[in-house]
Structure 1
Amino acid sequence: MTTSTPVPVAKRVPTERIHHGDTVIDEYAWLAGKEDPETIAYLTAENAFTEARTAHLAGLRETLFTETRQRTQETDLSVPTRKGGYWYYTRTVEGQQYGVQCRRAVRDGETEPPVSPDGAPLDGEEVLLDGNLLAEGHDFFSLGAFDVSPDARWLAYSTDFSGDERFTLRVKDLTTGEVLADEVPDTFYGTAWSADASTLFYVTVDEAWRPYRVWRHTIGTPAADDVIVYEEADERFWVGVELTRSEKFVVIDAHSKITSEVRVIPAGNPTGEPAVVAPRRQGVEYSVEHHGHRFLILHNDGAEDFALAYTSADAPGDWVPLIEHSPGTRLEAVDAFANHLVVSLRSNGLTGLRVLTIGSTDAYDIEFPEPIHSVGLDSNPEYQTTEVRFRYTSLITPDSVYDYDLVTREMKLRKRKPVRPGPDGREFNPDDYQQHRDWAVADDGTRVPISLVCRADTPRDGSAPCVLYGYGSYEASMDPWFSIARLSLLDRGVIFAVAHVRGGGELGRRWYDEGKLLAKKNTFTDFVASARHLVKAGWTTADRLVARGGSAGGLLMGAVANLAPDAFTGIVAQVPFVDALNSILDPSLPLTVTEWEEWGNPLDDPEVYEYMKSYTPYENVQPVNYPAILAVTSLNDTRVLYHEPAKWIARLRAVAPQGDYLLKTEMGAGHGGPSGRYDAWKEEAFVNAWTLDRFGLA
């Protein structure tokens, strides 16, 4: 398709990079100048070009957006969660971008959460925060902290209006509605209250955006008087802070990619010195959960897939085994309640929940009906309870909230996300769709799981178009999830598949280890093997296959574009980490030093340098026929800086000019893209319209 808008041409300004005797010329390094008017002008020109090249899809974009909106119950109310004397919940209102955070007092004899089928406010509702009011006058809005004090009087909350994940922390008096003068700029995620609600702990970042300090703030005093409680000097480590469910301890967690160290402060003595639970040992990860007179320790000391132990809370020492290591069953978290423990785990590529009863050898896994699913604990703030709440979903089952009785083992569905009739007026019926688990075989013989969803009547003759999604880093698992917006693709005959490639955590810690550092290329070859398998198995053909991934999954997209350009008709790379080598070579950039245990340190290790250089997408652009590429980024992203995809697209145009490359930059957003729900739906409609166009379905 032709357009009168000229293709943007990035000027070339040769910049030299020399490492380990290797000299590299980077012609587009100037695009890292965020404050440079030429950079902004170039990004603006790219946006104009992308808009012109996709102008013919405007109607389809609006249709897809409308379909998502039609199927969504816009005025809705989450299942209220009980904490102390209140039910806490979030409401959404038709036409409003953001949620409204609310609570309502628990009434005499009330044991069941109140219900509002039409999403209307509950009788007696108290509005704690209205995101729509906070967002007024801003193009972007994100809520960081939302933490009610143990006595239910104070609310600590933080806001970000640019997308750079630096928040301003404030405290609201919930008895008067007054926002106190206590205001702390440039904070990060994570807060914790003292037992008497007089003290608030919070986290700040260093110049490289690494959360490294925990502070103590006394309510009613200036932020200038705040005290540093803990500072992490090792640049590989980041810190977090939280209050245990028992509300007995403030936990300060220092964690690198492969090592951790936890400190605790009694919540009743907030000025006390943090005490180390177990000194850090390189390669040993552990987390702490308080339970009675002991700390529960989830760890990997001699336990690749983690084991559960405990130690004294009064004098932490040796770890006493509670759940022994079982290879292939990855223990991911433990939640402690007065008389029960719930362990979150994964086995055979699926998530699960295991219940242990205190004072008994009784332990069992909760059973779920679908062979492909995703389950995880929801908010469970009460320590003295025999009931836990979890979320459940699959590729064909909308997000569902269950309450589970730990004594009777009864499961009660509290709410399933409504899916309203689509444009044809038909009710959503899960039976109209099918989910499948398939397996590809990688180059080294490893079997790679693939999850697929499609309409039940989708043919298996290769004629169906397919979107193949992947990530494969940081042990992050792409567990099955339901999407209303995806229905618009499925109902047009598109298959949606997820390649659970190495580097993720779907099959345990080894699955992660085999896709990182000097084994990173397994992530890329696994994805290509998955694409080839879908064709061989009759699901689709290469000219009907679009790949999609974001962030580290965007690195995957760039790598497979170089590795197997013939395997795809299109590639969607969202906030893509495509200039990985240059970024990991620069310790001044956000997150770089903390990432060396994920990718390796190319500054000090020539082998790592050569290995990364051999796969980094930006370094390996070749004069070949690439599939069409859509790169989406955000100007204020602090995790993957906008200039990575900008440089990548510029080099693609220069080296392989025959290709179809588009760059779309959100000029007022961060890593997660647009913040409002309607804006997010429009962004998804943009990507899906481009994808359908590649399939000839526009």
Structure 2
Amino acid sequence: MCTLFSRCCSFTRVRLRLLGLCKTTPPATYLYTGPSKPNVRCPNSDLEKYKNLQKNFKRRLRATYSRFSGSQDKSVICGHNYVYSLEREGIYRMDRRQNEAELLLNLEQCSPGGEESGERGEWAVQRVRVSPSERHLAATIKSSHREQARCVVVKQGDAASTPKDLSHIIFTLDNVFSFEWANDEVLFYTTQEGLRCNRVFRLDLKSPAAVHRPVFEDTQPDVFVEVALSRDGRILTINSNSKTDSEVWLIDVTTPYLEPLLVQHRLPELMYHVEHWGDWLVILANTGPGQEYQVLKAPLAGPSLGSWVPVYTPCPGVTLKDMEVVGDHCVLTTREASGELALTVVPLANPLGGYSLLLPLWACSCESRRPGPAEPHDALHFVLSSPAHPQVPFSFHPKDKLLLSRPEAEGPSPEKGSGGKLSITKRLQVQSQDGTLVPVTLFHSVAAGRLQQAPLLLHVYGAYGRDLSMHFSPESRWLLERGWVLAYCHIRGGGELGLSWHRQARVEGKPAGVEDLRACLLQLHSRGISSPSRSAITARSAGAVPVGALCNTDPHLIRAVTLQAPFVDVLGSMADSSRPLTVEEREEWGDPTADPQHRLAIASYCPLHNIAPQCYPSMLLTAYSNDARVPLAGVIQYAKKVKEAVHTHLTALHGAECEHAPRVVLNVQPGADHFGPNHFDLMLEESALQLAFLYTELGLASPPRRGR
């Protein structure tokens, strides 16, 4: 499977849910680093109003994170001899025979940039790969100061012989994005230059000098290249993808020095991704009805397009979200027409014997876990969650049709909050301006009769064919327990309803996503859910485009907005080909320099270029000084223009009464990149500030402080 870079907000692994979706670099895992002192923040007078309330919320959020710490994914890798886990100091391994843990990789001592900056405790492990026989371990570590990661290769020995210093680190590779072991001595990896990744290298540890050799390069300016290992560990794939087409090359791990084998050369609008099954390839491609995804198979000896045979085509209304080959079965995560998640199982030797299994009704997110070197490959391990429900581990055995939950630690009930209130999940459909039905997922714990008085926080994204994130969030759970209603609007431009859902809001179709967002707010209010004076929207990155456009056209529908790393200057960015991502993303936004229709479409909704004197919602804009995807200058210009528009509007009233005086607050986080801070304490500060802002601007009574 393949990922591409874009203006996205969160990590998605190399799985089907990426396919055609938003492609991002994996963010570092949040690591709590104890009492170490985080960066000193620059003083900002606009933030002083929220300072005391922010401290209160930070304490409460810390307690909430502590409540749910037992239900978090522990990122454990099971090897033949050791179990590996990520902790705040780095990577630990525990000897299965002695049941003793040791620090294998000290994060603080090998962090990139630590020597120059003098800072400690803000580095995090991004990805870990253990070689088949556990002779070596490779891991990427990353700072929030830069997107490029450093790959560290560790030579492992017996617990008794492992040195206590860093002499077992045998190699470091800078600017690495993806990497996989072909065997215990050969590592394939891709290098990242700026925000692009187009070259693959092979590191041979057998050679005395640890030779690096180039293996593959794609010179097209709009592609992103990465390497991935098949689930059975037999085939390594080189995936070269643009926003609209794909090309995959294969390397047999038993002969890693041979030239890669091409599956199918690139064709316009053909997107495909491969897995391995015996002498066959299992292919996921958009060759189904309406150019949607279907499952096919092809012989490994001759895998080009002419040999592809359909194995499974989903029914109308069913969307493929993920694919795994588990033993002799193709296991698909699907979104049913009702909006619920399901597992669809296709026996590869007998495709007509397939069946589906609905997952729990509350499940909104399904994250499959890669098996470790010592784990059996005939079962699928995955985690279910929702914004309101903590992670619950499951294992599925397709041969026996057996689905088992695996609660690894006692924790709060998925449905009930700390006060015993039942969290209700509803899946709604609202009608957009052109008649299109838009899915909305609603969460609340208050009685139906009190919904109109409840504050509403609406989440939205709608770009790159990427699903709106529906993972568990302690912040979301905390809000639900205090009477908030949370709405997740799956507007066009995302991927919830398949590739066509994305295509309807690409380039000239972008305004459709804005209309969907407007319809969601209007119909939620008309159904008796909250009111404009108690409604707020939150979004990140490209999700700021429909939000900013709505603030220009219908500011009366909401009272407050929080935007992180907001992409607000679409017209300026797409007109400047010297900026990172511009050429790659013209398939998403259009090319205003070459196509007048594209320019007109972008100019019609671009948040920065449609600001007018009026009473805007209050805004909290969080930007990051090292953000290479969304330039800080554009966010600063947007904040300035909105402030000026509000001032002009209020001045024109000549002292007449105004319902509310909106505040536009710009919070610039120094040192962080597009994905925000890695440091747990700084992450809490950012979330606590957003809560303080929302409570203040919506006029809500803040929760009372607890006594000792």
Q: TM-score, normalised by structure 1?
A: 0.84
- 1:298 maps to what in 2? 284
Change (3 A) 1:467 1:586: same
Alpha-carbon offset, residue 439 of structure 1: 2.2
Give yes or no for contact 1:144–1:160 (8 Å, CA) kept in 2.
Answer: yes
Query: Which ranges of 4 or more aligned residues in structure 1 deviate by more than 6 Å?
Result: 74-77, 220-224
- 2:24 maps to what in 1? none
The secondary structure found in structure 2 opposite 1:531 is helix
CA distance in 1, matches of 2:597, 2:353: 50
Alpha-carbon offset, residue 223 of structure 1: 8.8
Alpha-carbon offset, residue 376 of structure 1: 3.5
The secondary structure found in structure 1 opposite 2:453 is coil
Alpha-carbon offset, residue 427 of structure 1: 6.8
- 1:400 maps to what in 2? 392
The count of aligned residue pairs is: 628
CA distance in 1, matches of 2:188, 2:597: 42
The secondary structure found in structure 2 opposite 1:54 is helix
Q: Tell me if 1:124 matches 2:100.
A: yes
Alpha-carbon offset, residue 106 of structure 1: 5.0
- 2:35 maps to what in 1? none
The secondary structure found in structure 2 opposite 1:200 is strand
Q: What is the root-mean-square deviation in Å for CA atoms of aligned residues? A: 2.8
The secondary structure found in structure 2 opposite 1:241 is strand
- 2:548 maps to what in 1? 558
The secondary structure found in structure 2 opposite 1:632 is strand
**Letter matched to residue 249 of structure 2:** R
Give yes or no for contact 1:378–1:390 (8 Å, CA) kept in 2.
Answer: yes
Give yes or no for contact 1:263–1:274 (8 Å, CA) kept in 2.
Answer: yes
Alpha-carbon offset, residue 162 of structure 1: 4.1
Select 1:577's aligned residue among 552, 557, 567: 567
Alpha-carbon offset, residue 419 of structure 1: 4.7
Alpha-carbon offset, residue 241 of structure 1: 0.7
Decide which moves more: 235-244 or 152-161: 152-161
Give yes or no for contact 1:352–1:375 (8 Å, CA) kept in 2.
Answer: no
- 2:175 maps to what in 1? 186
Select 2:624's aligned residue among 620, 634, 645: 634
Q: Tell me if 1:338 matches 2:334.
A: no
The secondary structure found in structure 2 opposite 1:652 is helix
1:504-515 → structure 2 map (5 Å cutoff):
504-515=494-505
Change (3 A) 1:479 1:568: same
Q: Tell me if 1:676 matches 2:684.
A: no
Select 1:227's aligned residue among 213, 224, 227: 213
Higher relative contact order (CA 8 A, sep 6+): 2
The secondary structure found in structure 2 opposite 1:415 is coil
- 2:525 maps to what in 1? 535
- 1:155 maps to what in 2? 137
- 2:361 maps to what in 1? 370
- 1:41 maps to what in 2? none
Select 1:168's aligned residue among 150, 154, 159: 150
Q: Tell me if 1:619 matches 2:609.
A: yes
- 1:116 maps to what in 2? none
Q: Deviations over 1:34-93 (max 9, x none)?
A: xxxxxxxxxx998512322323423433343344245233798738554445444445xx
- 1:78 maps to what in 2? 74
Give yes or no for contact 1:139–1:161 (8 Å, CA) kept in 2.
Answer: no
Give yes or no for contact 2:371–2:377 (8 Å, CA) kept in 1.
Answer: no
Q: Unpaired segments of 5 or more residues in structure 2?
A: 1-39, 651-661, 703-708
Change (3 A) 1:489 1:180: closer
Alpha-carbon offset, residue 257 of structure 1: 0.6
Alpha-carbon offset, residue 483 of structure 1: 2.2
**Letter matched to residue 295 of structure 2:** L
Q: Tell me if 1:313 matches 2:289.
A: no
Change (3 A) 1:461 1:359: closer
Q: Tell me if 1:141 matches 2:133.
A: no
Alpha-carbon offset, residue 371 of structure 1: 5.8
Select 1:242's aligned residue among 224, 228, 244: 228
Alpha-carbon offset, residue 260 of structure 1: 0.2
CA distance in 1, matches of 2:206, 2:127: 19
- 2:659 maps to what in 1? none
Give yes or no for contact 2:326–2:380 (8 Å, CA) kept in 1.
Answer: no
**Letter matched to residue 140 of structure 1:** E
Give yes or no for contact 1:305–1:329 (8 Å, CA) kept in 2.
Answer: no
Change (3 A) 1:458 1:139: farther
Decide which moves more: 171-180 or 580-589: 171-180
CA distance in 1, matches of 2:395, 2:186: 33
Give yes or no for contact 2:296–2:308 (8 Å, CA) kept in 1.
Answer: yes
Alpha-carbon offset, residue 652 of structure 1: 1.3
1:197-276 → structure 2 map (5 Å cutoff):
197-207=184-194, 209-219=195-205, 225-276=211-262
CA distance in 2, matches of 1:459, 1:683: 33
Q: Deviations over 1:378-399 (max 9, x none)?
A: 2234685332211112344321
Give yes or no for contact 1:441–1:529 (8 Å, CA) kept in 2.
Answer: yes
Alpha-carbon offset, residue 244 of structure 1: 1.7
Q: Deviations over 1:664-697 (max 9, x none)?
A: 1111211221112333222212111211212222
The secondary structure found in structure 2 opposite 1:277 is strand
The secondary structure found in structure 1 opposite 2:513 is helix
Alpha-carbon offset, residue 593 of structure 1: 1.3
- 2:691 maps to what in 1? 688
Q: Tell me if 1:49 matches 2:45.
A: yes
- 2:336 maps to what in 1? 347
Give yes or no for contact 2:560–2:698 (8 Å, CA) kept in 1.
Answer: no
CA distance in 1, matches of 2:486, 2:235: 44
Give yes or no for contact 1:305–1:326 (8 Å, CA) kept in 2.
Answer: no
- 2:481 maps to what in 1? 491
Change (3 A) 1:369 1:345: closer
CA distance in 2, matches of 1:281, 1:632: 40
CA distance in 1, matches of 2:89, 2:554: 43
CA distance in 2, matches of 1:344, 1:473: 21
Change (3 A) 1:221 1:672: farther
Q: Deviations over 1:558-581 (max 9, x none)?
A: 111112111100011111110112
CA distance in 2, matches of 1:129, 1:615: 49
Give yes or no for contact 1:399–1:416 (8 Å, CA) kept in 2.
Answer: no
Give yes or no for contact 1:579–1:618 (8 Å, CA) kept in 2.
Answer: yes
Q: Tell me if 1:283 matches 2:283.
A: no
Change (3 A) 1:495 1:427: closer
CA distance in 2, matches of 1:352, 1:165: 35
Change (3 A) 1:660 1:76: closer
Q: TM-score, normalised by structure 2?
A: 0.83
Give yes or no for contact 1:451–1:498 (8 Å, CA) kept in 2.
Answer: yes
Change (3 A) 1:432 1:407: same
Change (3 A) 1:541 1:244: same
Alpha-carbon offset, residue 167 of structure 1: 1.4
CA distance in 2, matches of 1:45, 1:183: 32
CA distance in 1, matches of 2:507, 2:109: 45
CA distance in 2, matches of 1:217, 1:83: 22
- 1:379 maps to what in 2? 370
The secondary structure found in structure 2 opposite 1:412 is strand
**Letter matched to residue 471 of structure 1:** Y
CA distance in 1, matches of 2:479, 2:42: 27
Q: Tell me if 1:665 matches 2:647.
A: no
**Letter matched to residue 64 of structure 1:** R
1:2-151 → structure 2 map (5 Å cutoff):
48-73=44-69, 78=74, 80-91=76-87, 98=88, 100-105=90-95, 123-131=99-107, 137-138=119-120, 140-151=122-133
Q: Unpaired segments of 5 or more residues in structure 1?
A: 1-43, 92-97, 108-121
1:375-524 → structure 2 map (5 Å cutoff):
375-381=366-372, 385-415=377-407, 419=411, 428=418, 432-457=422-447, 459-460=449-450, 462-478=452-468, 480-524=470-514
Decide which moves more: 502-511 or 129-138: 129-138
The secondary structure found in structure 2 opposite 1:662 is strand
CA distance in 2, matches of 1:158, 1:236: 25
